[in-house]
Amino acid sequence: MRHHHSFPNTLAAGLAMACLAGVQACQAEAPDQADAEEQMDAEHAQEAEGGEVHWSYEGATGADMWGGLDPSFAVCDTGVQQSPIDLAGAIPAGGGGLEIQWQPTDGEVVDNGHTIQVNMAQGNTITLEGRQFSMLQFHFHLPSEHTVEGGVYPMEVHFVHQAEEGDLAVVGVFMDAGEAHAAIQAIWDAIPGVDEAPAPLAGIDPNAFLPGGRAYFRYAGSLTTPPCSEVVSWVVMTESIAVSQEQVDAFAALYPMNARPVQPLNRRFILLK
């Protein structure tokens, strides 16, 4: 069976989407599925996301309906550690626990029907509480999915990383209206049409999307899209980065609302690191 950490970039793109949509499929992939993935273009990757079951953010297939759209989405309704959440009442826990090892890396920009996503080649890792996770992709939400004491930001970017064991660590960064952001503009300028192939983009530096301060919220949660798998170690940076209103508007023209509502905290706690 193919090793997930030595695939070529084009395959990584399809796999990254499949992994985000269904970690179990990502972990236990049959050889025939692997063959199928190698032939999968961006459109098919899009269909594979969410097991080909259509879902959306509003209306009859909106966020409140996800759990009933497919048996594999049930945890969207029945889960007890769902994401996103309102980041309130965080417990100060001192700093540390997170090392970010990112560098300029080649990638490709995809419009996957739910967001704009940048699939990344290998080479970007984080070490969270002693465990290493490798970046698969990053993507955007409008407005922010997490809130801070009820406050919503214009946008939020999610850097999705995966451990050898298959579980995920996602680093979220809030995007607030201010100066234009050059790295965002490079991505926006590369966005392909919905029926077009992924657009290669060289030398994307994820560090450009990190705020100056490294304080973060830390909690245990889930994917914020179907199948809502509860396999995500969440890191949400407390400081935001600036993007221009024009850049927010440009994303909104494609995706006016792609944020899941906040979910109950239940018995979890939030650490402020």
Summarize as ranges the residues that interact with Zn ion (CB under 5 A). 158
Residue carrying structure tokens 């050059």: 182
**Shortest Å, Cβ 223 to Zn ion:** 8
Alpha-carbon distance of 118 to 115, in angstroms, equals 10
**Shortest Å, Cβ 94 to Zn ion:** 27
In the complex with Zn ion, which residue's Cβ is closer, 7 or 57? 57
**Shortest Å, Cβ 135 to Zn ion:** 13
**Shortest Å, Cβ 1 to Zn ion:** 28
Residue carrying structure tokens 């060289």: 202
| CA-to-CA dists, residue 243 to 151, 182, 209, 218, angstroms | 18, 9, 10, 24
Number of residue whose CB is nearest Zn ion? 158
**Shortest Å, Cβ 53 to Zn ion:** 18
Q: Are 228 and 164 spatial neighbours (Cβ–Cβ below 8 Å)?
A: no
Rg (CA), the chain: 17
In the complex with Zn ion, which residue's Cβ is closer, 73 or 195? 73
In the complex with Zn ion, which residue's Cβ is closer, 31 or 259? 259
Alpha-carbon distance of 83 to 264, in angstroms, equals 8
In the complex with Zn ion, which residue's Cβ is closer, 158 or 273? 158
Q: 3-state DSSP helix/strand/coil percent for the chain, to nearest 5?
A: 30, 30, 45
In the complex with Zn ion, which residue's Cβ is closer, 171 or 204? 171
